[in-house]
Amino acid sequence: MSITMAELRQKFRDRQYKLTSQRQTILQAFLDHPDRHLSAEDVYTIVRKQSPEIGLATVYRTLELFNELDIVQRLDFGDGRQRYEINETSTPHHHHHLICLSCGKVKEFGDDLLETLESAIAKRSKFAIVDHQLKFYGYCQECQKRREG
């Protein structure tokens, strides 16, 4: 499922925030790169080509606002850089990540096999679980070939 700019505009209206031209430009960077998990620096590099007046500080502030509004989801892959992706659904657990330790490539997978385990843990511990993240660290196919050869 891919979210559209019209749906994102509606999210801003629903939350009574203005979708300024700068915010729209930053959102467009995510829509134009749906398969990437962008850092603030990545977003800045993308948007400054179209809108050189947008500074890095603006990108950081805007990403924080987007995160607070659940427009984007902040991700930590353990490499010291916060990354972001568009939050396409209102329900958590939509996908997880495979992270290559060699090249840093991040691949998504949608199988959520943890639902049963999560339900059992919640019931047994009397804990209201609202979200989880699953990350697998290893080597992508290309890096495996380089390591073997």
pLDDT reading at 139 higher than 80: yes
Instruction: Give the separation between CA 33 and CA 35, rounded to whole angstroms.
Output: 6
Q: Can you tell me which residue has the tokens 């607070």?
A: 68
3-state helix, strand, coil in the chain (%, to 5): 45, 15, 40
Neighbouring residues of 140: CB distance < 8 A, sequence distance ≥ 6: 98, 100, 102, 103, 105, 107
Can you tell me which residue has the tokens 């809108």? 51
Tens-digit pLDDT profile for residues 47-65: 999 999 999 999 999 999 9
The domains of the chain are located at 1-90, 91-149
Of 64, 88, 79, nearest to 4 by C-alpha is 88
pLDDT at residue 73 greater than cutoff 90: no
**Encoding tokens for residue 110?**
């949608």
* pLDDT value of position 51: 95
Q: pLDDT tens for residues 108-120? A: 776 667 778 888 8
Q: Is the pLDDT of residue 104 over 90?
A: no
Q: Which of 52-66, 77-91, 97-111 has the highest mean pLDDT?
A: 52-66
DSSP 125-136: HT--------EE
Does domain 91-149 fall under CATH 3.30.1490.190? My reply is yes
- Please identify, in words, the CATH class of the domain defined by 1-90: mainly alpha
- Supply the DSSP symbol for 50: H
Would 1-90 and 91-149 be classified into the same CATH topology?
no
pTM, rounded to two decimals: 0.69
